[in-house]
Structure 1
Amino acid sequence: MSHDLQDPGSAGHPSQFALLGQRRFAPFFWTQFLGAANDNLFKFALTVMLTYQLQLSWLQPAQAGLVIGALFILPFVLFSATSGQLADKHDKAALMRLIKSLEILIMALAAWGFWTTQVPALLACVFLMGLHSTLFGPVKYAYLPQQLNERELTGGNGMVEMGTFVAILLGNVAGGLLIATPEVGARHVALGGLLLALAGRATAQAIPASPATDPELRINWNPVSETWRNLKLAHGQLAVFRSLLGISWMWFFGAVFLSNFPAFAKEVLQGNEQVASLLLVVFSVGIGIGSLLCEMLSKRHVEIGLVPLGAIGMSVFAIDLYFASRALPPASQALSLGAFLAQAAHWRVLADLALLALFAGLYSVPMYALIQLRAQPTHRARIIAANNILNALFMIASSLLAGVLLGAGLSIPQLFGLLGLANAVVAAYIFLVVPEYLLRFVAFIASRCIYRFRLSGEQHIPAQGAAVLVCNHVSFVDAVLLMAASPRPIRFIMDHRIFRIPVLGWLFRLAKAIPIAPQKQDPATCEAAFARAREVLDEGELLCIFPEGGITRDGQLQPFRGGVMKIIEDRPELPVVPLALTNLWGSFFSRVEQGQAMVRPFRRGIFSRVGLVAGTPLIAAEVSPEGLQQRVGQLLAAPPA
């Protein structure tokens, strides 16, 4: 089994779209799609009705959107902690059916409210639909890792993310069109919302069983203490906790753009309502495309190396949007959609928005997948619920901060540019605090932009639990390529001298590589390395050792030393995975020039083919240095898979 990191079609696995033909995913996908569409049809139609069609003494038209947004977000703050517990305690399919039945009742009340123009009832339904979404969110994201394997998780999340934004777009468009129908618009909205709720309940009926992960859980009804407990639990896994903050920042970032599109279209782009709608369409399509690209770029693994790439793109195009908005031609009146598109300067604005949104999709999808993969299964839904609370709080904070900055005289383009700069600072903080993101990004770039990296037998690298990886040592970037091959972090035992090399030494220190020196030369460093290696295995992590003791100087496999036996001596059942790096000898980072590496750039051009072959794991009790050397030699001699 192999896949070429330059050729997504060679993986031999169906694409993420194939999931739409499978019962474990398709009913769930359409259930969440219809729910998101209904949320936005109802909210947008009500906003338009209160803004343009009704005159209320107690609710000004300009405040309608703010009130509706606040009512919808409030349940996320109040009830997310409880909803996460319910999702961990009960079968997720049964819970989704119950939630969709609740949606029918809410839409029935909303239909009566639209039919009779009962605004208080409709505002109550906004709160109730927020409750519906609050209950559904943790179930949605906790369901996926129970039904999809690691290689499907990124694609599944990409489909859900894409579907959500398409549903938001279609719901807003449908809500606007239906409510604008003369005389009978409110009735059409009432009927549309009820039909979508019924359709969602019908698709939910086909969702397969998804057993409770913690059926004995006792519900803590105090949302404050439960939220704090879940955040502390998530903080125990630093990568998970920083991912929660990263996702919440993405919602902070996106909310500023989405909430300011109407004013941006009117005041800066000097366009009419159709132009404002076009901005929403472009942004939604960009998010959808970026979400779908994640699976192709990650080659169907959870690839958090995409997160720094997404963050860079978000900042670059947010800042360029500021500059693009300063170079627009003046207009004497509001531009129609056709007149807006007829001016070339506006296409740069649309391109910036589309690419900004695309990179936001690349940024968010791997983070969701990482949380689902790494969070404790028994607490997964509660951690996701805590994330929903953080998302809501960050979105509220973004609205308040944007309002303060705009009120202080900042223009909307300046706000966008400032947000791009802030995004760069926040991303740098996250990636330095949790270097795994940055390391995976370096590995991602190396395996796609410097080499064409082909991986065979990746199923032999354990997805869970402790294991020792044993690999030949060909170049100074062996560890980087191994990072790209594994969906999990790897801790490396490396020659202490490599830490003196500029850039690479900093990179390996960031990766928490373990320095080792010969026993005769530095016994203290040697013993400390073995002690730390055993701690890594006790923590259930992957440990990699290069038993040759140094980088080969002639391209041939050198004798394996016995250090690996000292690591595994008291762990007879520990998996030991033989690995073989192929075709790296002769590359820029190998010692091909009189024992020196990194002498002649582009010796083999760019995108030179290299590979990694993973062999069948052995158990530690059956391992010997000579046997491991023979097995790695066999992998090197085997023809490409």
Structure 2
Amino acid sequence: MTPDRPLSLLGQRRFGPFFWTQFSGAFNDNLFKNALILLLAYSSAQLAGGLDSNVLINLAAGLFVLPFFLFSATAGQLADKLEKSRLIRIIKLLEIVIMVCAALALMIGNVWLLLGVLFLLGTQSAFFGPVKYGLLPQHLHEQELVAGNGLVEMGTFVAILLGTIGGGLLIALGESGPAWVAGASIGVAVAGYLVSRRIPLTPPVDPALGINWNLFSETVRLIGFMRARRTVFLSIVGISWFWFFGALYLTQFPNYTHLILGGNELVGTLLLATFSIGIGLGSMLCDRLAGQKVEIGLVPFGSIGLSVFAIDLYFAVPSGLEITPELIGPMAFLSEPWAWRVMIDIFGLSLFGGFYIVPLYALVQSRSKKTHLSRIIAGNNILNALAMVIAAVAGALMLGVAGLSIAETFLVVAVLNVVVALYIYQQVPEFLMRFLVWILIHTLYRVKVQGRDRLPEQGPAVLVCNHVSFIDALIIAGSCPVPIRFVMYHRIFQIPVLSFIFRTAKAIPVAPKKEDPEMLDRAMDRVAEELANGQIVCIFPEGGLTPDGELQPFKPGIERIIERSPVPVYPMALRGLWRSFFSRSGGRAFFKLPRGFYRRIDLIVGEPVAPEAVSAADLEARVRRLHDGVDS
């Protein structure tokens, strides 16, 4: 797969059958759920002896979410302990059984049986979630995680949209509607099971795991697993916030359409379709924007766009808009000049929502302990469910108690999104640092990486590269899928603005022995410590920036590092940065007119060198050949 063809994953057995299995499940859940909600809204008197439809609808929503609290802890353990493809098939077989029960409940017309079936569907989804996100890293390479997660998120929201529309259309067929819903639900469940049989074997990551059936103690353990790695935990907080944000918006869409826009149900469907298409497209574009790696720099980019469009949505509808008793349809709605601004805002906030959520899921998958991943995903699902419950309560409080309008509620949540984003980026500066790097290499330059598959996915390892400009480290950091500890001249380390990025990336300042021998010794100790901790370290063995664009002799410091920490060394070469604003070509860097915007930069990665074969002269020759295009 190339960065330009993430859809090629759909044609591969390691991903395609799984994608269509989860697509069918999301479609079926929403087909039945929406059909049931509409049935309760319009036929509750006959089904439940006159019980209030609003009570029943909110009860239905609660019953679908409740299993995530009750069963996620157990589901996460089973997903880590058992072979995942077999577990998926068992879950899909249970879906068929549940849908047969749903058909019987629809035929009988008993509301309590229907609500029970909805609870069972929520249970099935609670068990499928940890398997779904735990399976991806076992079948996809690190550089494919963003594409895979993007496809899953896109497929999920498209399935939600189609299932919601399908459920509404089928239940609206009059007396035969329930029968059509029943038949469609069973048919989709059977199709999902048949597709799931093609999912390849996925070995258990912790087969010796003992199952703790205690819901409360295991949930506490899950939270402990999540908190073990701060970046992972705060990423999960960010994911849960997104579900709070999305749940509150989507819940209010029907009344927003009716009370604020004066539109009918078809206008509401149009807004839902716009939202789903936006988040699907954003999810798909992540792989291209990320450059085929887990790029958390997209998360701040996504949150900025999310906030901008969400805030503008408040101002999009003219104040004092008169709502007539006769609700307008899609064509009349779109004939209003302000309607297109509403559509653009909804599309924009969902598009940037895709940029926001996909890298977070990929980051959790790539940085969690592999033997605990499904349990961490289960903990994430618990927090997501809690966030959606809080969203329902918050919406009720803002609309009912505080007396805010739906538009004002949207504005409050949009402002809160800014606050939450700032908190997360303050706690984990790596997000902001990667965002600044991403902006740099996607506005000033076009970076092409040759031999990306040679880059180590984990340490310990040392990268060596020629040194052309003050931003070499940023180009390399933005092109590699994992964090790198850079060893750099202390005066470069102290450059304003860049200093924030380097410090956040835990770069190691160094000075020549004749300038500061104590700093050199401290740097060597830090390098050894980082390599002992399994990190990847990058050094520039020339010892300084090239004064003429040519490769300078490599200093023997690399031999000293490898002698102390025997790890593989990966030679790399940068091309295209000489004569840039950040190089010494044509005068001092930063003190000349910039030129050559959006120029092509090449980063070429060579084959790793075993520690026993490392020498400064050999590495210099390898980097020179890569730079000159002899090896690539």
Give your verdict on TM over 0.5. Answer: yes
Deviation at 1:533, TM superposition (A): 1.1
Deviation at 1:299, TM superposition (A): 2.7
Deviates more, 1:66-75 or 1:558-567: 558-567
Q: Within 5 A, what are the aligned runs for 1:120-131?
A: 120-131=112-123
Matches of 2:485 and 2:439, distance apart in 1: 20
1:484 aligns with 2:475: no
Q: Deviations over 1:408-465 (max 9, x none)?
A: 0222222222222221221222223222222222222222210111211222211122
Q: Within 5 A, what are the aligned runs for 1:255-270?
A: 255-270=247-262
Deviates more, 1:134-143 or 1:411-420: 411-420
What residue is the counterpart of 2:25 in the other structure?
35
Matches of 1:518 and 1:358, distance apart in 2: 49
1:168 aligns with 2:160: yes
What residue is the counterpart of 2:420 in the other structure?
426
Segments of 4+ moved more than 4 angstroms: 11-14
Deviates more, 1:464-473 or 1:480-489: 464-473
1:89 aligns with 2:89: no
What residue is the counterpart of 1:335 in the other structure?
328
In 2 relative to 1, CA 340–640 (structure 1 residues): closer, same or farther, beyond 3 Å? Answer: farther
Matches of 1:206 and 1:635, distance apart in 2: 42
Deviates more, 1:35-44 or 1:290-299: 290-299
In 2 relative to 1, CA 416–601 (structure 1 residues): closer, same or farther, beyond 3 Å? Answer: farther
Q: Within 5 A, what are the aligned runs for 1:10-49?
A: 15-49=5-39
Q: Deviations over 1:190-237 (max 9, x none)?
A: 222122211211211222211111111100111222222222222222
What residue is the counterpart of 1:141 in the other structure?
133
Q: Within 5 A, what are the aligned runs for 1:46-195?
A: 46-55=36-45, 56-57=48-49, 59-195=51-187
Alignment length (residue pairs):
628
Deviation at 1:514, TM superposition (A): 1.1
Matches of 1:179 and 1:557, distance apart in 2: 72
Could you say what secondary structure the match of 1:196 adopts? helix
What residue is the counterpart of 2:266 in the other structure?
274
Q: Within 5 A, what are the aligned runs for 1:198-237?
A: 198-237=190-229
Deviates more, 1:396-405 or 1:484-493: 396-405
Matches of 1:480 and 1:83, distance apart in 2: 41
Using the size of structure 2 for normalisation, the TM-score is 0.96
Q: Which amino acid aligns with 1:414?
A: E
Matches of 1:268 and 1:12, distance apart in 2: 45
Sequence identity, in percent?
A: 50
Could you say what secondary structure the match of 2:174 adopts? coil
Could you say what secondary structure the match of 2:486 adopts? strand
Deviation at 1:13, TM superposition (A): 6.6
From 445, 451, 454, give the equivalent of 1:451.
445
Deviation at 1:349, TM superposition (A): 0.2
Deviation at 1:58, TM superposition (A): 6.7
Deviates more, 1:490-499 or 1:433-442: 433-442
Q: Deviations over 1:612-632 (max 9, x none)?
A: 111111122211222222222
Deviates more, 1:137-146 or 1:439-448: 439-448
Instruction: Work out whether residues 463 and 570 of structure 2, in 8 Å CA contact, stay in contact via their aligned partners in 1.
Output: yes
1:361 aligns with 2:354: yes
Matches of 2:28 and 2:307, distance apart in 1: 32
Deviates more, 1:415-424 or 1:158-167: 415-424
Q: Deviations over 1:24-60 (max 9, x none)?
A: 2222111111111111111111111111122135731
Instruction: Work out whether residues 44 and 51 of structure 2, in 8 Å CA contact, stay in contact via their aligned partners in 1.
Output: no
Deviates more, 1:84-93 or 1:619-628: 619-628
Matches of 2:390 and 2:219, distance apart in 1: 18
Q: Which amino acid aligns with 2:31?
A: L
Q: Which amino acid aligns with 1:520?
A: K
Could you say what secondary structure the match of 2:468 adopts? coil
Q: Within 5 A, what are the aligned runs for 1:173-572?
A: 173-326=165-318, 329-333=321-325, 334-407=327-400, 408-572=402-566
Deviates more, 1:494-503 or 1:12-21: 12-21
Instruction: Work out whether residues 26 and 160 of structure 2, in 8 Å CA contact, stay in contact via their aligned partners in 1.
Output: yes
Deviation at 1:82, TM superposition (A): 0.3
In 2 relative to 1, CA 26–458 (structure 1 residues): closer, same or farther, beyond 3 Å? Answer: closer
Q: Which amino acid aligns with 1:537?
A: L
What residue is the counterpart of 2:610 in the other structure?
619
Matches of 2:261 and 2:359, distance apart in 1: 34
Q: Deviations over 1:211-266 (max 9, x none)?
A: 11111110011122222222222222222222111111111111111001011101
Deviates more, 1:351-360 or 1:195-204: 195-204
What residue is the counterpart of 1:608 in the other structure?
599
In 2 relative to 1, CA 593–327 (structure 1 residues): closer, same or farther, beyond 3 Å? Answer: farther
Matches of 2:317 and 2:509, distance apart in 1: 51
Q: Deviations over 1:563-620 (max 9, x none)?
A: 2222221333x111111111211100112243x111223322x101222111111122
Q: Which amino acid aligns with 1:381?
A: S
Deviation at 1:328, TM superposition (A): 7.6
Instruction: Work out whether residues 311 and 424 of structure 1, in 8 Å CA contact, stay in contact via their aligned partners in 2.
Output: yes
Deviates more, 1:327-336 or 1:468-477: 327-336
Matches of 2:488 and 2:420, distance apart in 1: 31
Matches of 1:609 and 1:26, distance apart in 2: 34
What residue is the counterpart of 1:7 in the other structure?
none
Q: Which amino acid aligns with 2:590?
A: M
Deviates more, 1:617-626 or 1:379-388: 617-626
Q: Deviations over 1:303-359 (max 9, x none)?
A: 222111111110110011111124585343321222111112101101100111011
Instruction: Work out whether residues 31 and 185 of structure 2, in 8 Å CA contact, stay in contact via their aligned partners in 1.
Output: yes
From 615, 619, 631, give the equivalent of 2:622.
631
Instruction: Work out whether residues 531 and 565 of structure 2, in 8 Å CA contact, stay in contact via their aligned partners in 1.
Output: no
Matches of 2:354 and 2:108, distance apart in 1: 41
In 2 relative to 1, CA 12–32 (structure 1 residues): closer, same or farther, beyond 3 Å? Answer: closer
Matches of 1:413 and 1:601, distance apart in 2: 47
**CA RMSD between the two structures:** 1.7
Matches of 2:424 and 2:545, distance apart in 1: 33
Deviation at 1:12, TM superposition (A): 5.1
Instruction: Work out whether residues 327 and 345 of structure 1, in 8 Å CA contact, stay in contact via their aligned partners in 2.
Output: no
Could you say what secondary structure the match of 1:569 adopts? helix
Q: Which amino acid aligns with 1:310?
A: G
Q: Deviations over 1:60-107 (max 9, x none)?
A: 112232111110000001110100100111111110111111111111
Q: Which amino acid aligns with 1:352?
A: D
Deviation at 1:385, TM superposition (A): 0.5
Could you say what secondary structure the match of 1:591 adopts? coil
Deviation at 1:20, TM superposition (A): 2.1
Could you say what secondary structure the match of 1:462 adopts? coil
Instruction: Work out whether residues 143 and 481 of structure 2, in 8 Å CA contact, stay in contact via their aligned partners in 1.
Output: no
Matches of 1:131 and 1:86, distance apart in 2: 14
Could you say what secondary structure the match of 1:183 adopts? helix
Could you say what secondary structure the match of 2:564 adopts? coil
